[in-house]
Amino acid sequence: MMKKATWGFCALALCLGGAMPSASMAADKPKILVIYPYLGDQSFVRMHQASETEARKFPEVQIDIVAGPDRTNANYFITAIEKAMTEGYNVIAINHGGAAAQLYPALKKAEAEGIKVVGFDTGLPELKGHASDVLYDIPGASGKAGELFAGIVPDGAKIGIIRCLLGNPDTDAFINGFKKATEDKKYNVVMDADAKCDPASARTITENMLTSTPDLAGIFNVFDVSAQGSLQALKAAGSNVPLGSIGGQLYGAEAVAEGGNWKYTVPYPFEAIGTIAVDTAVKVAKNEPVDSITVVPVATPLTQDNAKGYADELKAKLAAK
C-alpha cells in the first residue's frame, strides 16, 4: 500500500498530524517512510513522481512518501524522523535537500531504535554505516559541465561561478568538479557566490557580476533552478555572456534550444534516482543485500543541437502525469 504525499505545503503540525497511518495498519508489512524536502521545484516533483510510480510495484510493503514545506526546513525533517520512530517504520529513505548537518542526531537516534536509513540524491557522509546511498555521478556530471564550458569560454577569461547551498558536501562537489575540469584554462574567477538555489538571488548576483566586470566572459550557475535567474539578468542587460549549468529541467532545455545565452545543461537523472531510492529501500526493508552506494551515471548533455527533442519528450511525460 502506498500513501500519496499529504504534507506538501501545509502547516507542519497539521501535515504530520494526519499524514501517516496508525501503527495497527498493515502491521504485517515492512514499513518505509520516503522523505522529500518539498515540491517547490520541478526537480523534486519529477523525482517524487518516480518514487510514487515505483512504490506501486510493491503492494507487500507499506511505502509512505511525504514532502515538506521548503527545501531546508530542519524542523520538518526532524519531526518526520521522530514520527517514523513512534509509528514503527523499518526504513527511512531521505532526500535531505541540504539540511543534513541538523538531522544527524535524529537519524542516529532512529538507527539506535532499529530503523535503517537510505540516503538518496544527497548523501549522508557523517552517518557512518547507514544502509545505502543512491547518488548521481557528481564528478562525471560536473566534469562534463566543465568540458562544455571550456569549449565556449577562452583561456584566461574572467568568469563568474554561482553555487547552491555553500558548505553542503554534494553541491560543493559539483563546483569542485567544474573547477578541476577547467583548471587548465586558467580562468580568472571574479565572483564565486552562493544563490542558495534561489532564482531571485541568482539574478541579483548575476547583475552584480555584469556591473562589476564589464568584460565578463562566462557564468557557470551550478543548477538550472538558479540559472533561470542568471538568464533573466543577462537578457535584461542585453548581454551576450554565455551560461552553463547542470539539471536538464524543462525550462532549461527549452532555453538552451532557443540558442541564446544558456548554452548547455547536463541533465540530472531525477526519475532514475527517485526510482532506485524506492527499490533500494524495499530491499533494505526485506533484509536483502544492497550496495553501500549506487551511482547513477551521467546523462547526455543538452546543447542547442539536441535540447529541443529532449524538451519535447520531457514535456509530454510531465503532461501525462
User: Which DSSP string corresponds to 46-107?
Assistant: HHHHHHHHHHTT-TTSEEEEEEEBSTT-HHHHHHHHHHHHHTT-SEEEE--TT-HHHHHHHH
| 256 sits in which H/E element | helix 250-258
pTM > 0.85: yes or no:
yes
- Cα distances (angstroms) measured from residue 180 to each of 70, 146, 159, 183, 213: 32, 8, 15, 5, 23
Q: Do the Cβ atoms of 2 and 63 come closer than 8 Å?
A: yes
d(CA 156, CA 150): 11
Does the domain formed by 2-136+270-296 have CATH 3.40.50.2300?
yes
Which value, to the nearest 10 degrees, does the dihedral of the CA atoms of residues 94, 271, 52, 27 take?
A: -40
Q: Do the Cβ atoms of 84 and 115 come closer than 8 Å?
A: yes
2-136+270-296 and 138-268+303-320: identical CATH topology: yes
One pLDDT digit (tens) per residue for the chain, 321 residues? 344 443 433 333 334 433 444 444 445 899 999 999 999 989 999 999 999 999 999 999 999 999 999 888 999 999 999 999 999 999 999 999 888 889 999 999 999 999 999 999 999 999 999 999 999 999 999 999 999 999 999 999 999 999 998 988 889 999 999 999 999 999 999 999 999 999 999 999 999 999 999 999 999 999 999 999 999 999 999 999 999 999 999 999 999 999 999 999 999 999 999 999 999 999 999 999 999 999 999 999 999 999 999 999 999 988 886
For the chain, domain boundaries: 2-136+270-296, 138-268+303-320
Q: 138-268+303-320: which CATH topology?
A: Rossmann fold (3.40.50)
